[in-house]
Amino acid sequence: MAETSPVFVRSNPRVLGHDPGLGHPESAQRVQVILDVLEPGAAGRWTVDRQAAVPTDEDVLGVLKWIHDEDYIERVRAVSNEGHGWLDTHDCRVSPETFDSAVAAAGLAMNAALDLANRRLDRAFIVLRPPSHHAERDSARGYCFFNSVAVAAEVVVGSLGEPVVIVDFDAHHGNGTQKHFFDRGDVGYVSVHTYPGFPGTGTADEIGVGEGLGTTRNMPLVAGADDSIYCAAFEEALDEVASRLRPAAIIVSAGFDAHPSDPIGAMRVSEAGFRRLSAAVTATAHRWASGRVLSFLEGGFDRQALANCARIHVEELASGDAEKADA
Ligand SMILES: [Zn+2]
Residue tagged active-site, from 18, 68, 133, 134: 134
If phi over 0 gives left and psi between -120 and 50 gives alpha, with beta otherwise, what is residue 88? left
CA of 148 to the centre of ligand 1 (A): 15
CA dihedral 20, 145, 127, 276 (to 10 degrees): 110
pLDDT tens per residue, range 202-251: 999 999 999 999 999 999 999 999 999 999 999 999 999 999 999 999 99
pLDDT tens per residue, range 42-51: 778 999 999 9
Q: What is the pLDDT of residue 113?
A: 98
Cα separation of 251 and 189, whole Å?
A: 9
What is the pLDDT averaged over residues 289-311? Answer: 98
Per-residue pLDDT band for 91 (boundaries 50, 70, 90) equals confident
Beta bridge partners of 89: 87
CA of 295 to the centre of ligand 1 (A): 15
CA of 256 to the centre of ligand 1 (A): 7
Per-residue pLDDT band for 325 (boundaries 50, 70, 90) equals very low
Clarify whether 193 is annotated catalytic.
Answer: no
What is the pLDDT averaged over residues 13-20? Answer: 97
Residue type, 130: P
Sign of CA dihedral 187, 202, 276, 32: positive
Res. 200: pLDDT tops 80: yes
Burial tier of 179 (Cβ tally within 10 Å: 0-12, 13-18, 19+) = middle
What are the residues whose beta carbon lies below 5 Å from ligand 1 (ion)?
170-172, 255, 257, 299
- Per DSSP, the three-state class of 175 is helix
What is the pLDDT averaged over residues 260-286? Answer: 97
Q: What is the pLDDT of residue 321?
A: 52
**Yes or no: is domain 7-326 CATH 3.40.800.20?**
yes
Give the residue extent of every domain in the chain. Answer: 7-326
CA of 266 to the centre of ligand 1 (A): 10
Q: What is the pLDDT of residue 5?
A: 63
Q: Are strands 164-168 and 187-194 parallel, antiparallel or unpaired?
A: parallel
Beta bridge partners of 7: 46
